[in-house]
Structure 1
Amino acid sequence: MAAEMLALWRLLLAGSTRSLYAMLADADLSMTQLKMLHVLVECQTEVSVKEIAEQLSMSLPNASRTVDGLLQRGLVERREDEHDRRVKRVGPTQAARDLIDRVDTARLQGIEAWAEDLSPVQRQTLLDALSILPKERRK
């Protein structure tokens, strides 16, 4: 089952990979920075550098350097925690949210291109299968 899911994932992303890499090159971002931005946008609230490091399985120094790079590009904001000045909180800027929206749009366009080749029966079967899956991921 997992191998089939991976094959599907690759098919779905194949149509957007080139545009995604071009977008990252234009923004001068690494995949690590992109992953961090995705997490920050999904969090809906500021998080500490330590929390983001744990969520991405990064060392604290690496997470801090990644935040610094994003801060220089104007993609995150960083401030001291109100209760503990040793803790730095970070959150995405509107520019980061816009970038993640463009990335998601590129991915969606790739998926739409793939889905255009499905027959009506295949499309309905896929929709039926997706409708029974959990809507939220497990934590």
Structure 2
Amino acid sequence: MFRHIQESALTDITSHDVATMYQHLTRVNRTLRAHGASAGLSAGTASSLWTILNNAPIRVTTLAERESVAVPTMSKIVTSLVDRGYVAKVKDPDDARVILLEPTDAGREVITEMRFVRTRALADALTRLSPIERATVDDGLRLLADAIAADSEENRA
């Protein structure tokens, strides 16, 4: 049923519409990332630290898969995070040959601060909208997130 709705919806939407919406989403994402860049981390490094924080303990190979980068690239990112004191390497208790990554207190603090700065920037922007505009944005983002999640789940099945 979803495929039928999706295919019929495409007749009502142009590639220009999709490209424009994608540009808007990219602009929002880049702007919020820029607000959180005060920690001196690149977007990829910050994303990797966030993934470690939310999935620890995690292997470098698993982290690379989740971040959609090659293992050698992820190894460089991890080295940078370890050197900054944001991530610790620990041995897997089940297999001493395997190294796992865990965030340090400093790594947790950096992510918390970045999240706070980005959330504050979003809140500031939302205060410039009327209550009706905020509700429209909220509804639109929820609907889009649900549609993307449904499509993602359907592709996994």
* CA–CA distance in structure 1, aligned partners of residues 78 and 22 of structure 2: 32
Partner of 1:30: 42
Pairwise CA distance, 1:66 = 1.8
Structure 1 pair 74/107, CA: closer, same or farther in 2 (3 Å)?
A: same
Partner letter of residue 70 of structure 1? Answer: L
Question: Gaps spanning 5+ residues in structure 2: where?
Answer: 1-17
Give the Å deviation of 1:89. 0.4
If asked which structure has higher relative contact order (CA below 8 Å, sep 6+), I would say 1
Q: Spell out, residue by residue over 1:47-89, the C-alpha distance to the aligned partner (whole angstroms, 9 max, x if none).
A: 1111111211222222222212211211111112122222110
C-alpha RMSD over aligned residues:
2.7
Please tell me whether residue 94 in structure 1 is matched to residue 100 in structure 2: no
CA distance in 2, matches of 1:40, 1:105: 18
SS at match of 1:88: strand
Secondary structure in structure 2 of the residue aligned to 1:85: strand
Aligned to 2:20: 3
Structure 2 counterpart of 1:95, which letter?
A
Q: Which shows bigger deviation, 6-15 or 97-106?
A: 6-15
Distance 2:32 2:86 in 1: 26
Aligned pair in 2 of structure 1 residues 112, 12: CA closer, same or farther (>3 Å)?
farther
Query: Which position in structure 1 is the counterpart of 2:7?
Result: none
Partner of 1:74: 85
**TM-score, length basis structure 1:** 0.76
Identity between Structure 1 and Structure 2 (%): 26
Q: How does 1:1-139 map to 2 (within 5 A)?
A: 1=18, 3-11=20-28, 14=31, 17=34, 19-21=35-37, 23-25=38-40, 29-43=41-55, 45-130=56-141, 134=146
Residue correspondences, number: 133
CA spacing shift, 1:42–1:125, aligned 2, 3 Å? same
**Is the 8 Å Cα contact of residues 37 and 92 (structure 1) preserved in structure 2?**
yes
Q: Secondary structure at the match of 1:58?
A: coil
Alpha-carbon distance between aligned partners in 1 of 2:64 and 2:96, rounded to the nearest angstrom: 18
SS in structure 2 at match of 1:64:
helix
The one-letter code sitting in structure 2 at the alignment partner of 1:61 is: P
Where does the alignment leave 5 or more consecutive residues of structure 1 unmatched?
none
Please give the alpha-carbon distance, in whole angstroms, between the structure 2 residues aligned to 1:8 and 1:47.
29
